[in-house]
Amino acid sequence: MSIPFPLMALISGPEEVLAERAVDAIFGELRDFEREAETVRLAASSYAPGDLLTHASPSLFGGWTGIVISGLEEASDPLLEDVLTYLDQQPDSVVLILRHKGGNRGKRVVDAVKKAGARVVEAKAIKTEGDKVAFVTGEFQAARRKISRDATVALVNAVGRDVRELASACSQLIRDTKGVIEVADVELYYGERVETTGFKVAEAALGGKEAEALRLLRHAMTGGLDPVPIVAVLAMQLRQVGRVAAAGPGPSASMAKRLGMAPWQIDQARRVAQGWNGARLGQAIQAVAEADVEVKGGLRNVAHRAGDPAFAVERAVVAICALRKAA
């Protein structure tokens, strides 16, 4: 009979959310195959010699056992030797899942497990804004739901400091909303968090409200918001203003379809565009592009505070406000 799950799996990488999902998925497949299957969780930090082989021993009553060992990158020599012994024996009716976050410790065992034909599941770190945007996009694609690019960025800005929380937010929006998810939906559920993030900073900056923009910016960064997504939102908002201004007059609804934006975004961009012209908008986009290079660790002008991403964002906000007030 074909077994619908791997008898051995290696989950490689530091991202806990992805690793936990992989373990749960394999154990779920095991329980679907045999409802009474036993599951055992062992941690390298508390491992006692022989634990793995004891739990993998055949039961007098038969049945399947699923074993997951976490922290293989911190494994003691007895644990590593027990895994190698297990590979030689390959007991029947046992599913073994090994969790290795990375590093050289346990590499010999990791290589042996791969050579033995284990399924390898990547749990790569989700750290950058791009990583988180890709994660959110994947969550909605898996649920066969659509979310706009702007709403994706808004959600990452609102709850993206913790991947587990970000995953929970995606689940809530998928469960509690219908149709394409827009920024307004994100603000409805997470408005208090979005309030002092990049969108509000951008709104104040593009309106020339320097004091308000800087207050919101400093409050956001004091609360732990990374400068990178703030710069991304500033750039996005400026691009939207430019696209809408270049599109000319017309009903918001039809223009929204043509530009791939929501009607309310068209209306907002039109209001902002009234205080801008093409030349000053281009200068603002250039200021944000320079800030983007700085916050991502690119070359910095020695006249500025090298290594200070927060100062780079502030400088871009001040430049935008000055250009707006030059109207």
For 271-305, give one letter per residue: b (16+ CB within 10 A) or e. Answer: ebbebbeeebbeebbebbebbbebbeeeebeeeee
Q: Considering its fold, how many domains does the chain have in total?
A: 3
User: Is there a single domain that holds both residue 186 and residue 277?
Assistant: no
- Rounded CA-CA distance 225/63 in Å is 50
Partner residues linked to 97 by β-bridges = 9, 68
Contact between 126 and 163 (Cβ < 8 Å):
yes
Confidence of residue 270 (pLDDT cuts 50, 70, 90): confident
Q: What is the mean pLDDT of residues 92-110?
A: 91
CA-based R_g, the chain, Å: 26
Name, in order, each residue with C-beta under 8 angstroms of 171's C-beta and a sequence gap of 6 or more.
139
Q: What is the CATH number of the domain that holds 320?
A: 1.20.272.10
Final residue before a domain boundary, out of 72, 90, 122: 122
DSSP 24-38: HHHHHHHHHH-TT-E
pLDDT given for residue 192 in this prediction: 60
Contact between 233 and 196 (Cβ < 8 Å):
no
Q: How far are the Cα atoms of 24, 39, 116, 255, 325 from residue 21, in angstroms, in the given order?
A: 5, 15, 23, 41, 51
User: Is there a single domain that holds both residue 107 and residue 164?
Assistant: no
Greatest mean pLDDT among 227-231, 255-259, 317-321: 317-321
- Position 1 in a domain: no
User: Is there a single domain that holds both residue 88 and residue 35?
Assistant: yes
User: Is there a single domain that holds both residue 206 and residue 160?
Assistant: no
Q: What is the CATH number of the domain that holds 170?
A: 1.10.8
Contact between 313 and 289 (Cβ < 8 Å):
no
Please determine, for residue 61, whether its predicted confidence score (pLDDT) is greater than 70. Answer: no
Domain with 310, as residue range(s), is: 196-327
Q: What is the DSSP letter of 147?
A: B
Per the prediction, the chain carries an average pLDDT of 85
Q: How far are the Cα atoms of 150, 157, 232, 275 from residue 289, in angstroms, in the given order?
A: 19, 19, 9, 21
Please determine, for residue 302, whether its predicted confidence score (pLDDT) is greater than 80. Answer: no
Q: What sign does the CA torsion over 315, 317, 313, 256 have?
A: negative
Greatest mean pLDDT among 95-99, 200-204, 250-254, 307-311: 95-99
Final residue before a domain boundary, out of 85, 100, 122: 122
User: Is there a single domain that holds both residue 26 and residue 108?
Assistant: yes
Final residue before a domain boundary, out of 147, 168, 194: 194
User: Is there a single domain that holds both residue 86 and residue 35?
Assistant: yes
Q: Provide φ and ψ at 122, rounded to 5°.
A: -85, 130
Contact between 272 and 207 (Cβ < 8 Å):
yes
